[in-house]
Every structure is written in structure tokens, then in C-alpha cells.
Amino acid sequence: MGTAEVAKLLGVSRQRVNQLSHRDDFPEPVARLAAGPVWQNADIERWARDVGRID
């Protein structure tokens, strides 16, 4: 899942995802492509639940 997909899941902007991705507790991307970082869906969903951003 790329930045746009993470933004949609969290209900924030792509710019906010970029800010969040610099947090120590934010999951590391599985790859960094020319289009940007890519994360595992499960990693982002787990993080979002742990920090109370989704149910």
C-alpha cells in the first residue's frame, strides 16, 4: 500500500502520512520505489489500531 492508500485508510492527507512515517513507531516500508514508499497492509492496519486511528 502506497502513501495515497495509507492516507485514505487513516482519513488524512498524503502529506500527513509523510509526517507520520517519520515517527519511531510507524512501520518501516517494505520497499522504496520511485513513486514512494510501500507498506504491508497488515503493518499499517496494526499500527493504526494500536494508536487508536482505526477500530
Q: Residue 8 belongs to what domain range? A: 3-50
Domain count, the chain: 1
Task: Answer whether 17's CB lies under 8 Å from 38's CB.
Answer: no
State the pTM of this model: 0.91
Is 9 among the domain residues?
Answer: yes
In this predicted structure, what is the pLDDT of residue 48?
97
Is 36 among the domain residues?
Answer: yes
The CA distance from 17 to 14, in Å, is 5
Task: Answer whether 47's CB lies under 8 Å from 10's CB.
Answer: no
Is 55 among the domain residues?
Answer: no
**Residues 27-36: contacts with CB under 8 Å, at least 24 apart:** 35/2, 36/2, 36/3
Cell digits of residue 17: 502520512
Series of mean pLDDT values for 10-residue runs along the chain (55 residues): 98 98 97 97 97 88
In this predicted structure, what is the pLDDT of residue 54?
86
In this predicted structure, what is the pLDDT of residue 8?
97
